[in-house]
Amino acid sequence: MAQFDPQTEEFLLRLGEAQAQLDAGFARLPPSEPQPLNEDAAAILGEAALRLHDNDPYAHPLYAGQMLKPPHPIARVAYAMAMSVNPNNHALDGGRASSAMEFEAVAALAKMFGWPQHLGHLASSGTFANLEALWIAGQLHREQGRVRAVAASDQAHYTHQRISGVLGLPFVCIRSDDTGRMDLDDLEHALRTQDIGTVVATLGTTAVGAVDPLDRIVELQKNYGFRVHADAAYGGYFTLARNLRAETRAAFDAIPHADSLVVDPHKHGLQPYGCGCVLFRDPAVGRFYKHDSPFTYFTSKELHLGQISLECSRAGASAVALWATQRLLPYDSGGEFARGLEAGREAALAMRSRLAADARFATPIAPPALDILFWAPRGSTREESSARSQAIFDEARRRDLYLALATLPARFFPPATWPDSTAGDAPVTCLRSVMMKPEHLVWVEEIWRRLDAAVNAVVDT
């Protein structure tokens, strides 16, 4: 008999209980032959398990590299249990119960952002959710007989430029300031000189977690008449956090004024991949989705999710998992879920404090806005610092500390960091850490100990 750790045993127990309840709902049906998992299948699963050893330990607190946060156990159980039905949330025929759960889960997200009315749905990714938001923007402008550009900062996710190309929309790149936020002077210059129809404000950039000044972008909207799309795929849930800086808080407080928004429950929402969400403040944009497919779905005349989504087949299990997690961990400021976000931010600030006090490291101009931080080993040149970043990254992995690397503009650091270079946009390779697990706060000491040992090993060699 295989031996499991206590967490796995608990998972299997809860899954078995939930599965038994689900199966009881179909007990009236005559038995059918299940597809067996025989010894061949067991061997294949064992091989798959061994192959999966070739991953980093993403769920462990010593993994502090990329944006990888383990799903909550209730999400894992709910997803696995729902997969025995394998509902398809494209239409009610494929998943009535899971579609109802999706509407409820999306409504909980909209309420968290202060939108009493909305149109929205889950998506297979933040990328596809952003595509839908920009597609709606393009449709609205074409309805007015215009093709208008999309603008986003040079620190926004690269998919915005790619999506604009797919949609046939011009794209304008706005410079970021020295803290990684969108430069509003550059934005206003672009608004005066180009026909920009949509401005993407990123609330939690991928590289450094910067939060664009959404509150001030909304003010510019009054004068220039563009749509505001908030890409909060990474940082959206931080609207619940009580330990943000004032300027970051102001950006999140402006979310109710955005026209559309994307958030990824598979990041801070404790969900399995892939689970994104797109929201529109004005439900009337649903007219652009409207289509007719009576030959495919006929059991209900109610609005179904396939009528408000560009995607067709979508995993209903994602909706079940999100719904269950929200029931266990409601989106309450000061609640357990929100405290987990705050703990990650505190962990990032604690690491930043240690790095700033250590002469071996250079820290950026701005402290972490959320829970992502980056730094560079000191060197006489950017090239020397970059090489040391790579060496420390490799040495840390040998010590089971998993960091990330990011190539960023040197201007994100104080001007005196590299006296040999005055080229602010010149790149430097930095070390980067995403402290998104609540457990990271109590693991800061151990993470620092291993980082210190890695640095000393690199210096000694």
pLDDT tens-place string over residues 117-148: 999 999 999 999 999 999 999 999 999 999 99
The answer to whether residues 346 and 281 belong to one domain is: no
Domain contains 268? yes
What does 37-71 look like in DSSP terms, one character per residue?
--HHHHHHHHHHHHHTTSS--TTSTTB-SSS--PP
The burial class, CB within 10 Å (0-12 / 13-18 / 19+), for 48 is exposed
Residue (of 330, 331, 323, 327) closest to 95 by Cα position: 323
pLDDT given at position 306 = 73
pLDDT given at position 411 = 95
What is the pLDDT averaged over residues 204-210?
96
Residues spanned by the domain of 420 = 336-460
| Sequence-distant (≥ 6) Cβ neighbours of residue 305 within 8 angstroms | 89, 90, 91, 99, 102, 103, 121, 314
Q: What is the β-pairing status of strands 196-202 and 171-174?
A: unpaired
pLDDT, tens digit, 9 for 90 and up, residues 402-437: 999 999 999 999 998 998 655 678 999 999 999 999
Split at pLDDT 50, 70, 90, the class of 299 is: very low
The average confidence (pLDDT) of the chain is 93
The answer to whether residues 161 and 305 belong to one domain is: yes
What is the pLDDT averaged over residues 15-29?
90
Q: Which of 308, 328, 348 is the last residue of a domain?
A: 328
Higher-pLDDT residue of 311 and 337 is: 337
CB under 8 Å, gap of 24 or more: what pairs does 345-348 form? 345/238, 345/241, 345/243, 345/244, 345/370, 345/371, 345/435, 346/243, 346/441, 347/371, 347/435, 347/440, 347/441, 347/443, 347/444, 348/372, 348/373, 348/433, 348/435
Contact between 196 and 151 under an 8 Å Cβ cutoff? The reply is yes
The answer to whether residues 360 and 230 belong to one domain is: no
Q: Which of 328, 345, 373 is the last residue of a domain?
A: 328
What does 320-375 look like in DSSP terms, one character per residue?
HHHHHHHHHS---TTSHHHHHHHHHHHHHHHHHHHHHT-TTEE--SSPPSSSEEEE
pLDDT given at position 296 = 46
* Total structural domains within the chain: 2
- The b-or-e profile of 401-420 (16+ CB within 10 A means b, else e) is bbbbbbebbbbbbeeebbee
Sheet holding 276-280, edge to edge: 119-123, 276-280, 260-263, 227-231, 196-202, 149-153, 171-174
The answer to whether residues 322 and 435 belong to one domain is: no
Split at pLDDT 50, 70, 90, the class of 312 is: confident
Domain contains 48? no
The answer to whether residues 149 and 168 belong to one domain is: yes
CATH label of the domain that carries residue 143: 3.40.640.10
pLDDT given at position 304 = 67
pLDDT, tens digit, 9 for 90 and up, residues 149-159: 999 999 999 99
Q: Which of 328, 347, 382 is the last residue of a domain?
A: 328
Assess whether pLDDT exceeds 70 at residue 112: yes
Is the pTM value of this prediction over 0.75?
yes
| Sequence-distant (≥ 6) Cβ neighbours of residue 15 within 8 angstroms | 77, 80, 81
For residue 211, give the 3-state DSSP assignment.
strand
d(CA 110, CA 98): 18
Ranges 77-86, 319-328, 336-345, 416-425: which has the least confidence:
416-425
The answer to whether residues 304 and 448 belong to one domain is: no
Split at pLDDT 50, 70, 90, the class of 297 is: very low
Residue (of 277, 278, 304, 276) closest to 291 by Cα position: 304
The answer to whether residues 313 and 373 belong to one domain is: no
The answer to whether residues 228 and 341 belong to one domain is: no
pLDDT given at position 308 = 78
The answer to whether residues 400 and 432 belong to one domain is: yes
Domain contains 365? yes
pLDDT given at position 387 = 97
pLDDT, tens digit, 9 for 90 and up, residues 342-378: 999 999 999 999 999 999 999 999 999 999 999 999 9
What is the pLDDT averaged over residues 429-446?
98
pLDDT given at position 174 = 98
Assess whether pLDDT exceeds 90 at residue 264: yes
CATH label of the domain that carries residue 368: 3.90.1150.10
Contact between 373 and 435 under an 8 Å Cβ cutoff? The reply is yes
pLDDT given at position 449 = 98
Assess whether pLDDT exceeds 90 at residue 447: yes
Assess whether pLDDT exceeds 80 at residue 291: no
The answer to whether residues 318 and 340 belong to one domain is: no
Q: Which helix (H) or strand (E) holds 247?
A: helix 246-253
Q: Residue 228 half-sphere exposure, CB side, CA atoms within 13 Å?
A: 28
Split at pLDDT 50, 70, 90, the class of 298 is: very low
Residue 84 structure tokens: 């025995």
Residue 442 structure tokens: 């109590």
Percentage of residues of the chain with pLDDT beyond 90: 81
Domain contains 230? yes
Higher-pLDDT residue of 1 and 226 is: 226
Ranges 26-40, 156-170, 213-227: which has the least confidence:
26-40
The answer to whether residues 318 and 341 belong to one domain is: no
Domain contains 26? no
Domain contains 205? yes
The answer to whether residues 276 and 344 belong to one domain is: no
Domain contains 245? yes
pLDDT given at position 305 = 75
Domain contains 65? no
CA distances for 29 relative to 24, 25, 35, 135, angstroms: 10, 9, 17, 44
